[in-house]
Amino acid sequence: MKALALTVLLAGCSVAERPFAPPSVPLSEPRRLCTSNTQSDCRSVSSVERLLHDPDLHILEAVSTPAGRQGAKVLTLRRDGVVLRAKWRSFDSGNLVNEPRKELGAYAVQQLYLSPEDYVIPPTAGHCFPLAEYRARVDATATPSFGTRCVFGFLSYWLPNAHDVDDAEDQGILGGDSLYDEELFRTDTVYRRSLVNLNVTAFLVHHADAHDAQFLLVKDSGSVRVYTVDNSMAFQSITNPMVLFREDWATLRVPLVDTKTRARIAAIDERALQALATVEEYEDRDGMLTPHAITDPTVQRDAGMRWFGKRLQVGLTQGEIAGVRSRVQELKQRLAE
């Protein structure tokens, strides 16, 4: 009976797409992220990270995501006249196999070997919204997190003009119904590099739901870039049984042809791996969780979220880090062959 319930729970992590409401307030320009092939008229990863962390970031509205359950919302947010959108998962929306904290963990793992202009996971950050504001805009029945006066969760930048695989095929961006387009892989260096990086990242985080429907494509400056935007089933999560019938991008599917990627993987060391234990830190100030400088990035605690007095640290468990270490070693061995 437990196995049946788990299968139903996993299968419910991916559902048919629903109609998606556009923002009622115009989004600020530029909306596209700066990348290796787009360095002007764009928003840098670091600037988006600062916005997502900012305690003065306010919710304008919330709508359901186009697909998926798990309590995910798309929030329209404002800070100092800048309006943007982000996917939101509250801390308490997780379950046995699907945990919002892992979105932040996956975002940190890609940083082991990628520079911001090559990220395949959009900017992601923890945030705690004031309870009154959250109840007014998102969920009238919400309860505060950790006995504070705010609701804690994780924000991921909502990519503008992004296409899922089916839509990309309809728009002529892809030549078929697979994320892997052989001709595009041969001719578009940006697509080739980003697909390799996506494959490596999904492998390193042991993504348990890494099928084509989880990924988005953005065509910009004449090239195609791929992103993984749902990473809450990772780090020793039980694999979604539906992946058995689809392409699993958590297995290495494309050759590591990019010299830059190969060199950076080879340079990953134990210090970088242990730093994954604390990705972000927050301090309880009068009942509000606000960002705080990391005081000990390598604290040895087998918990992904842990309190030290009034400070909350968020990162990977030692078991999760061990899994990443093992997969890094496997990658290095492959590169040495």
Instruction: Give pLDDT tens digits for 253-281.
Output: 998 877 888 899 999 999 999 999 999 99
* Domain assignment present for 223: yes
* Domain assignment present for 211: yes
Place of tokens 């699993």: 248
Q: Are the beta carbons of 52 and 123 closer than 8 angstroms?
A: yes
Its domain, for residue 230, covers 165-256+326-336
pLDDT band at residue 108 under the 50/70/90 scheme: very high
Indicate if the pLDDT at residue 59 is higher than 50: yes
Domain count, the chain: 1
Q: What is the pLDDT of residues 146-183, one digit of tens each?
A: 999 999 999 999 998 999 999 999 999 999 999 999 99
pLDDT band at residue 323 under the 50/70/90 scheme: very high
* Domain assignment present for 297: no
Residue type at position 248: D
Q: What is the pTM of this model?
A: 0.91
* Domain assignment present for 43: no
Indicate if the pLDDT at residue 13 is higher than 80: no
Q: Residue 311: how many CA atoms within 13 Å on its side-chain side?
A: 11
Indicate if the pLDDT at residue 90 is higher than 50: yes
Q: Quickly count helices (H) and strands (E) in the chain.
A: 10, 11
pLDDT band at residue 240 under the 50/70/90 scheme: low
* Domain assignment present for 298: no
How many CB atoms lie under 10 A from the CB of residue 180? Answer: 18
Q: What are phi and psi of 283, to 5 degrees?
A: -125, 135
